[in-house]
């Protein structure tokens, strides 16, 4: 009897312990940091999107999210000779839908650009240089089977043998995707190229906000923009970590639990100069 009583007390104990299990999700405190998404391409003006990161426990709806978008910062870009203050404009294609952009300063290959953001007594800085442009040699819309109504993009370009290059391939389907979406496996390091003449199949990247279910291929009738960008090692590492978050971040079995790499001192995100070349291809509807 004594033993049974003991056993009973023991099980009661277990029940008490199991009921008092803490809510581990609430134990992690969220922190808000300034996020920079900035770029400058050759022949174009610098553009910067600013926001604050949203704490994981924050309750978010279409109004409260606006509190995390930054519209009142002072954003300047200098190329060593000139300094320009960027002005904020609304851009519905982007999230957050406000882009700080320049008007006078135009990106040049080889030049270094320093970004400075001043917001609520905080100053954050980042530096980047625009690398050489690598032109796209050819872009083709290829079908595995001629009867298919879908296909892939086949891309060719010549790696600059004398330079160290990092590439990003991105695509945008007109009127479906508002921004260029980095292709799956589309970040390339030239050290791994078997031949300087590069020819590869491009898999469409995942656009999370897409209204339709993700498909890795393009459809007949699409107007596709294909962009080949050169970037720095920092940019390459950043986009690799971004891709890792997009693809592995959803996998429970191989979880990605590393933050994105960043070159922003005092904040998150990226300020990167790109050498870009874009071509468009109109696929024929049957």
Partner 1 sequence: MKDHNNQNIVAADVFFLTNTNLKFHVATDTLGRFSIVIPSGFVKIDVEHESCKKQFLKVEIKKDTLLSFTLEKIEFELKEVVINNDKKPVNIGVGGKLSFSPQKLSNVPSLSGTPDIIKLLQLTPGVQNSGDANGYLYVRGGDPGHNLMLYADVPVYGMAHLLGVFPFYNADHVTEVQFDRNNLNSKYGGRLSSTVYVSPYQVAPKKFSMEGSLGLLSSQLTFSLPIGKKTGFYISGRKTYIDEIVGVFVKPDNKKGKDDVDDFKYGFFDSNLTFITEISKRHTFRVDAFLSGDKFKVIDSKSSLNANLKWSNEVISPMWKYLINEATTLKNSFYFTRYENVLSMNQSDVQMNVSSHIKDIGYTSSIQYVVKNVPVESGFEYAFHDLVPQKIEADNLTAIVNDINSSAVHANNIAVFTSAKPKFSDTLSAEFGLRINYYASDSKVTSLDFEPRIMFNYLPKKDLSFFVSYTRQNQYINLITASSVGIPTDFWIAASDGIPSQSSNNYSVGCNKIISKQISTCLNGYYRSMDNLIEYPYGFTQFNETTTLKNDILIGDGKAYGAEWMLKKDNGKFSGWISYTLSWSTRQFDELNNGETFYSKYDRRHNLAIVGTYDFNEKWNVGLSQLFSSGNRFTMPDSWYFMNNTPVREFGSYNNAQMPNYIRTDVSVNYSFFKTSQKESILNFSVFNTFNIDNPIYVVQRVSVDGKKIYVDTDEKKMYSILPSISWRFKF
State the CB neighbour count (10 A cutoff) for residue 259. 9
Q: Which residues neighbour 33 within 8 Å (Cβ) at sequence distance 6 or greater?
A: 52, 53, 267, 268
> Of 114, 200, 279, 281, which lies in the binding site for partner 1, with binding defined by CB under 8 A?
200
Q: What minimum distance in Å lies between the beta carbon of 130 and partner 1?
A: 19
285 counts as binding partner 1 under rule CB under 8 A: no
Calpha distance 240→227 (Å, rounded):
17
Question: CA-CA-CA-CA torsion for 229, 156, 183, 185, nearest 10 degrees?
Answer: -100
142 counts as binding partner 1 under rule CB under 8 A: no
212 counts as binding partner 1 under rule CB under 8 A: no
Q: Total binding residues for partner 1 by CB under 8 A?
A: 85
Calpha distance 267→74 (Å, rounded):
15
Calpha distance 279→224 (Å, rounded):
8
Binding segment for partner 1 (CB under 8 A), chosen from 46-54, 75-83, 99-107, 129-137, is 46-54
194 counts as binding partner 1 under rule CB under 8 A: yes
145 counts as binding partner 1 under rule CB under 8 A: no
> Of 6, 12, 28, 142, which lies in the binding site for partner 1, with binding defined by CB under 8 A?
28
Within 69-98, the residues that bind partner 1 by CB under 8 A are 94-96
> Of 245, 277, 278, 281, which lies in the binding site for partner 1, with binding defined by CB under 8 A?
245
Q: Roughly how many angstroms between the first and final C-alpha of the chain, as a whole number?
A: 84
56 counts as binding partner 1 under rule CB under 8 A: yes
Q: What is the DSSP letter of 161?
A: T
Within 154-173, the residues that bind partner 1 by CB under 8 A are none
Decide whether 10 or 104 has the Cβ nearer to partner 1.
10
Calpha distance 165→143 (Å, rounded):
30
> Of 38, 47, 48, 52, which lies in the binding site for partner 1, with binding defined by CB under 8 A?
52
Q: Determine phi and psi for 225, rounding to 5 degrees.
A: -100, 130
């Amino acid at each position: 009897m004594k033993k049974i009583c003991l056993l009973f007390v023991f099980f009661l104990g277990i029940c008490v312990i199991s009921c008092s299990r803490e809510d581990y999700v609430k134990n992690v405190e969220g922190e808000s940091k300034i996020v920079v998404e900035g770029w400058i391409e050759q022949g174009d003006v610098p553009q910067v999107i600013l926001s604050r990161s949203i704490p994981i426990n924050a309750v978010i709806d279409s109004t409260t999210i606006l509190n995390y978008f930054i519209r009142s910062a002072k954003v300047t870009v200098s190329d060593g000779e000139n300094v320009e203050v960027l002005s904020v404009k609304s851009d519905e294609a982007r999230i957050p839908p406000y882009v700080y952009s320049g008007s006078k300063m135009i990106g040049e290959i080889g030049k270094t650009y320093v970004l400075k953001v001043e917001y609520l007594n905080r100053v954050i800085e980042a530096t980047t240089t625009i690398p050489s442009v690598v032109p796209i040699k050819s872009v083709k819309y290829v079908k595995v089977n001629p009867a298919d109504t879908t296909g892939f993009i086949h891309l060719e370009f010549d790696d600059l043998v004398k330079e160290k290059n990092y590439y990003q391939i991105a695509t945008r389907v007109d009127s479906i995707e508002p921004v260029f979406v980095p292709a799956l496996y589309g970040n390339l390091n030239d050290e791994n190229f078997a031949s300087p003449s590069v020819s590869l199949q491009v898999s469409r990247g995942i656009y999370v906000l897409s209204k339709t279910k993700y498909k890795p291929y393009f459809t007949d009738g699409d107007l596709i923009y294909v962009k080949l960008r050169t970037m720095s090692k920092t940019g390459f590492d950043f986009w690799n970590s971004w891709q890792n978050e997009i693809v592995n971040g959803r996998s429970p079995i191989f979880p990605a639990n590393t933050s994105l790499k960043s070159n922003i001192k005092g904040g998150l995100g990226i300020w990167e100069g790109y050498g870009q070349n874009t071509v468009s291809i109109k696929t024929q509807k049957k």
